[in-house]
């Protein structure tokens, strides 16, 4: 039997109606896919912009504060020491035995001695080949050069090219080798030794006048470079010494007098006898025979007291080093104080304002003074400028403690970047005329030497807003005129510094900008 079912209606308490839940709201734009895509693009662009800005900032900082910029490589003669032997009696074997001792004592880079070929009693060449037997044999010179290379020492020799002795065999058998004036037009040319002595001398046998721009007690005669045979012989001799002995440098005294005006015109400013175009071409020809790593030196008699940049570039090279090498100059006007000259402040001021300094020409700094205290201060100051110092017989007068201080300075001038390519600022303190030379370079310690070249005590303050209040005492020669101890480790720059005659101190400090540049 089928039973009928019954559907019960829910009570009002449980009845569900459409009004029990709110109507759904539309989705907000914040959650839309299109807006999210735009947000991602904007974020990416902002990120890229920040990365580019950060990269540009780093580049600017590196350029502005080049902490990681490596100093350029410099040749040994940029901050070197040459030990010069002007005495012609030195034997090759003696020098070979004492080479290591000299190196230890002077911490030198090179030795420099007079011509090794035979000379007359007046020190004029008798020829351009062969070895002076009074100095030793050829094998002795070869042994010296080998020992020098083992000790990493260079050898430089004097190589006079303007004249020979009238005692030379060339004088009697090769008339065309020399400058003769058969017309008797002797012009007004004077010798370099004495402006009142004629550079022409009459020879009875030849019935002619010969030229000798270097007096030398009537022992010299100028060779004639306009004779191609002479030129070829000279170049051949240069090649001979360079190939056989491999000398590292040549001093060329008299090179600027090699050629002269062939019409023998009267001259008042040496324009007919010095620095002719042919002189430069001769130098270029010699340079072609000698490796560019070897130095050619201009002697003091050939120095150029001129502001003619073209003429300077000819001999000393321009920024492109047109001659293929470096020529150094030893200039009387700047670096050779005599025995009585005690104030060198003006000398350094003249050099600092010269064309030579502005053109960054290299120098061989030397002294003629016998005052050991003055020489130490002079050489210490020279080491703050670019160039090589040449120590001659006055080096024997330097005491061990003086040489120790110079070696200490040299050790830093050779290894610190600030001395290789740092900026130089030279100042004369107006109140005391103390000389200061400062070396600075981004990312390096700054160095300054303060020296008293006066013959009385001087004191002054180093007032400069760019410098810290306190600096490290690097070195001094114990010439304080107050109670300052020679062993003091730091110095207050706001305090007065008092130095005795030829006293100097060297200070150094870390520039404030160092902390920023270290980041990079």
pTM of the shown model:
0.78
Backbone phi, psi, residue 116, to 5°: -90, -10
pLDDT digits (tens, 9 = 90+) for 263-301: 888 887 778 888 888 888 888 888 888 877 788 887 777
Identify whether the C-beta of residue 449 lies closer than 8 Å to the C-beta of residue 485: no
* Helices 400-415 and 92-106: angle between axes, nearest 10 degrees: 80
- 50 and 93 together in one domain: no
Q: How far is CA 289 from CA 161, 224, 296, 362, in A?
A: 15, 21, 12, 22
- In angstroms, the CA 184 to CA 180 distance is 9
Name the percent of the chain lying above pLDDT 70: 81
Cα–Cα–Cα angle for 436, 442, 444, rounded to 5 degrees: 70
Q: Residue 46 falls within a domain, yes or no?
A: yes
**Of 269, 267, 295, which is closest to residue 283 (Cα–Cα)?**
295
pLDDT digits (tens, 9 = 90+) for 133-144: 999 999 999 999
- 57 and 96 together in one domain: no
Q: Which range is least confidently modeled, 8-12, 126-130, 437-441? A: 8-12
Q: Residue 109 falls within a domain, yes or no?
A: yes
pLDDT of 397 > 90? The answer is no
Residues 6+ apart with CB under 8 A from 124: 160, 163, 164, 165, 167, 216, 219, 220
- 52 and 89 together in one domain: no
Identify the pLDDT of residue 191.
87
Identify the pLDDT of residue 512.
63
- 53 and 202 together in one domain: no
Q: Residue 410 falls within a domain, yes or no?
A: no
Q: Which range is least confidently modeled, 47-61, 160-174, 241-255, 328-342? A: 328-342
- 42 and 83 together in one domain: no
Given 329, 357, 377, the domain boundary residue is: 329
Q: Which range has highest mean pLDDT (38-47, 266-275, 304-313, 419-428)?
A: 419-428
Residue 127 sits in which domain range?
Answer: 76-329
Task: With H, G, I as helix, E, B as strand and everything else as coil, classify residue 78.
Answer: helix
- In angstroms, the CA 216 to CA 124 distance is 8
Q: Is 360 left (phi over 0), alpha (psi -120 to 50) or beta?
A: left
Token digits of residue 320: 């492109």
- 145 and 247 together in one domain: yes
Given 329, 364, 383, the domain boundary residue is: 329
Q: Residue 53 falls within a domain, yes or no?
A: yes
Q: Residue 173 falls within a domain, yes or no?
A: yes
Identify the pLDDT of residue 271.
80
- In angstroms, the CA 67 to CA 441 distance is 9
450 pairs with which residues across the strands?
436, 505
- 53 and 98 together in one domain: no
Q: Residue 87 falls within a domain, yes or no?
A: yes
- 54 and 161 together in one domain: no
Q: What is the CATH number of the domain that holds 314?
A: 3.20.20.80
Given 275, 299, 329, the domain boundary residue is: 329
Q: Which residue has tokens 């005491």?
A: 399
Token digits of residue 216: 């030398």
Q: Residue 444 falls within a domain, yes or no?
A: no
Segment 203-231 shows an average pLDDT of 88
Count structural domains, the chain: 2
Q: Residue 451 falls within a domain, yes or no?
A: no
Identify the pLDDT of residue 270.
76
- 117 and 56 together in one domain: no
Asked whether the CA dihedral 129, 248, 235, 390 is positive or negative, the reply is negative
- 257 and 127 together in one domain: yes
- 59 and 84 together in one domain: no
In this prediction, residue 71 has a pLDDT band, given cuts at 50, 70 and 90, of low
In this prediction, residue 236 has a pLDDT band, given cuts at 50, 70 and 90, of very high
- 87 and 54 together in one domain: no
């Amino acid at each position: 039997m089928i039973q009928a079912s019954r559907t019960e209606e829910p009570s009002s308490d449980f009845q569900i109606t459409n009004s029990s839940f709110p109507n759904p709201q539309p989705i907000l734009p914040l959650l839309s896919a299109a807006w999210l895509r735009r947000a991602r693009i904007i974020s990416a662009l902002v990120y890229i912009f920040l990365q580019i800005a950060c990269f540009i900032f780093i580049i600017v900082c590196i350029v502005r504060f080049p902490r990681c910029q490596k100093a350029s490589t410099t040749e040994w003669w940029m901050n070197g020491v040459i030990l010069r032997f002007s005495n012609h009696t030195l034997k090759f074997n003696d020098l070979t035995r004492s080479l290591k001792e000299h190196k230890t004592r002077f911490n030198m880079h090179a030795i420099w001695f007079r011509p090794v070929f035979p000379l007359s009693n007046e020190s004029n060449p008798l020829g351009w080949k062969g070895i002076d037997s009074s100095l030793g044999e050829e094998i002795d010179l070869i042994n010296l050069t080998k020992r020098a290379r083992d000790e990493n020492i260079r050898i430089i020799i004097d190589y006079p090219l303007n004249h020979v002795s009238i005692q030379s065999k060339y004088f009697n058998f090769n008339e065309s080798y020399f400058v003769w004036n058969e017309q008797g037009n002797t012009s007004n040319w004077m010798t370099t030794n004495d402006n009142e002595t004629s550079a022409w001398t009459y020879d009875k046998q030849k019935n002619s006048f010969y030229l000798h721009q270097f007096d030398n007690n009537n022992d010299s005669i100028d060779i004639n470079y306009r004779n191609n045979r002479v030129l070829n012989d000279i170049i051949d001799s240069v090649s001979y010494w360079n190939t056989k002995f491999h000398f590292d440098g040549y001093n060329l005294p008299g090179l600027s007098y090699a050629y002269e005006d062939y019409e023998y015109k009267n001259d008042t400013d040496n324009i007919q006898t010095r620095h002719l175009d042919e002189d430069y071409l001769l130098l270029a020809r010699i340079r072609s025979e000698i490796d560019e790593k070897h130095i050619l030196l201009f002697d003091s008699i050939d120095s150029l007291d001129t502001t003619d940049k073209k003429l300077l570039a000819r001999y000393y090279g321009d920024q492109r080093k047109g001659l293929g090498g470096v020529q150094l100059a030893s200039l009387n006007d700047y670096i050779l104080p005599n025995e009585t000259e005690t104030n060198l402040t003006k000398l350094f001021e003249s050099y600092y304002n010269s064309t030579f300094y502005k053109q960054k020409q290299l120098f061989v700094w030397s002294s003629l003074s016998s005052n050991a205290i003055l020489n130490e201060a002079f050489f210490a100051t020279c080491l703050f400028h670019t160039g090589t110092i040449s120590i001659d017989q006055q080096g024997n007068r330097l005491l061990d403690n003086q040489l120790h201080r110079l070696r200490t300075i040299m050790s830093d001038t050779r290894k610190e970047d600030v001395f290789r390519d740092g900026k130089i600022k030279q100042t004369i303190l107006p109140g005391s005329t103390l000389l200061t030379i400062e070396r600075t370079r981004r990312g390096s310690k700054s160095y300054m030497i303060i020296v008293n070249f006066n013959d009385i005590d001087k004191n002054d303050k180093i007032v400069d807003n760019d410098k810290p209040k306190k600096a490290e005492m690097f070195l001094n020669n114990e010439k304080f005129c107050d109670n300052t101890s020679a062993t003091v480790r730091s110095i207050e720059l706001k305090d007065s510094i008092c130095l005795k005659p030829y006293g100097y101190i060297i200070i150094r400090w870390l520039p404030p900008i160092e902390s920023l540049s270290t980041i990079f």
